[in-house]
Amino acid sequence: MGDEVRALVERLLPGREVRTVVRLGGGLDHEAHEVDGELVVRRRRTGDPDERAAAVRREAALLEVVAGVSPLPVPEVVAADPEAGVLVLRELPGRPLLDRPLADPAPLVAPLAGFLRALHATPVDRVEGIAPRDATPPAEWLAEARDAYQVVAPGLPGADRQRVEAFLDAPPPAPPAVAVLCHNDLGAEHLLVDGEPPAVVVTGVIDWGDAALGDPAVDLARLHRDLGPAAAEAIRRRDDGLIGDEDLDRVAFYARCALLEDLAYGVRSGDERYRRAALANLARTFA
C-alpha cells in the first residue's frame, strides 16, 4: 500500500518525490496515510466507484466552505482524485484526543463552543448540494445500538449491562425539528490537540466525510460521550446556539448509541483505543 500511495501522490503533485509513507489507521469508511510528515492521504473504502467519487467531490467542496467559517483549523485540500476516492490534505499539528484523554477537559470548552456556534450557524443555502441531508430517525439509531450491544454484551460487567439494557428497552426521543450543518462525527478521534495541561489547545477538526445537514444534538452528543456530561453542558451554555433544554434528551440518547457503536467497533476491529475509551466513559454516559 505504501508504494501505491507514493505513486498516487507523485502523480497528483508533479515534481514531488515522496520520501516516507506511514499508515495512520482507518475506520469504517476511510483509511489514511501520512506522507513526508506533511500530507495526509485519505482513501474512501465504501460505496461503488461513482458514490466514492461523488463523496470526495462533496467533501472537498465542503472543506472550502467550512474553512471560511470555522474558528478552529480544518484540513486544507492539496489535491484530489475523486475516481480513486482520494483526498490529499495538508497535515494539521497535534494528536487525536482519543490518543491522549484529558483528566480535565475545561480548556476545550470555549474553543469547541465557538466552533459549534459557527458551524451550526452556517447558512444552509451555502452547503445545499454539498452536504447531504441526514434524516436518520432516533428509532434507527436505537435499532443499530441494539445490534451493537449484541457484540459487546459478553464483555460487560453485570451492572453495566443493566444500565445499557434499561436504555435499550426505553422508547427513543422524538425526531429533531431543525437541520443544520453538522460535522456529524465529532468524536475524540477527530479532534486534534496539542500542549500540556492546563495549556491544551485544539489544533484541528478532521475527517469531514460524514458531514451533513442534520440534528445539531448529534455533534454535542459525541462530546458528551468523550468529554463527559459536565463538559458538554458547559459547551452548550457557551455555544448559545440551537441546542436548547428541550434537546437534552436527544443529546444523551445519541451519546449512548454512539458509545455502543464505538465499543462494538473496538471489539470487532481489535482497536483497543476505542474499546478502552468506551468502557471508561460508559458509567457516566449511561448514568
Quote the CA–CA distance of 201 and 220 in Å, as a whole number: 19
Full set of structural domains in the chain with CATH: 2-90 (3.30.200.20), 95-285 (3.90.1200.10)
Exposure string of 204-237, with b = 16+ CB inside 10 Å and e = fewer, is: bbbbbbbbbbbbbbbbbbbbbbbbbbebbbbbbe
pLDDT in tens, the chain (287 residues): 789 999 999 999 999 999 999 999 877 788 999 999 999 999 998 788 999 999 999 999 999 999 999 999 999 999 999 999 999 999 999 999 999 999 999 999 999 999 999 999 999 999 999 999 999 999 999 999 999 999 999 999 999 999 999 999 999 999 998 999 999 999 999 999 999 999 999 999 999 999 999 999 999 999 999 999 999 999 999 988 789 999 999 999 999 999 999 999 999 999 999 999 999 999 999 99
**Residue 3: how many CB atoms within 10 A of its CB?**
9
